[in-house]
Structure 1
Amino acid sequence: MAKTLSFGILHMIVAFTVAYLLTGSLVVGGAIALIEPIANTIAYFFHEKVWDRVRASRAQHAAPHVMA
């Protein structure tokens, strides 16, 4: 859990720094640092759902077909 927390903090620092350097705004940098990780987490959830379907489809096609 400590590793996950430290990566989350690092992610927010990087997001803030990039946004601040691009805009020069502390407010925009702060907003992006808070919103971007949340958006990324939601995107990751759906990304995993898609890959679960891909894996299931591949497993189904790889299974040997038994003739009755």
Structure 2
Amino acid sequence: MAKTLSFGAMHLTIAFSIGYALTGSLAISGAITLLEPLANTIAYYFFDKSWNRYVDGKRPAAEAMPAEGAAA
């Protein structure tokens, strides 16, 4: 967990630093720092759904469908 938290802190620091270097604005840099991970999280949700649909479409039908009586 410590590795995950330190990576997250590093990511936010880099995002803020780049935003500040490009804009010179603390407010804009802060907004970028908060909005970028939010946008990526939302995009990942839809990407994952699309990816699963794509992968399921490439599997034979017997593999893609759960067995009868299996918990979903």
- Superposition TM-score, scaled by structure 2 size: 0.74
Separation of aligned partners in 1, 2:4 and 2:44: 15
Superposition RMSD in Å: 1.6
Q: How many aligned residue pairs are there?
A: 62
Q: Which runs of 4+ in 1 moved over 4 A?
A: none
Identity %: 53
For CA contacts below 8 A with separation 6 or more, give which structure has more relative contact order: 1
Which residue in 2 is equivalent to 1:66? none
Q: Which amino acid aligns with 1:16?
A: F
Q: Which amino acid aligns with 2:17?
A: T
Separation of aligned partners in 2, 1:60 and 1:7: 39
CA deviation map 1:26-65 (0-9, x unaligned): 111111101111111111111111110111011137x7xx
Asked if 1:40 corresponds to 2:46, the answer is no
- Superposition TM-score, scaled by structure 1 size: 0.78
Which residue in 2 is equivalent to 1:49? 49
Checking the alignment, whether the CA contact within 8 Å between 1:11 and 1:37 is kept in structure 2 is no
Shift of 1:8: 1.8
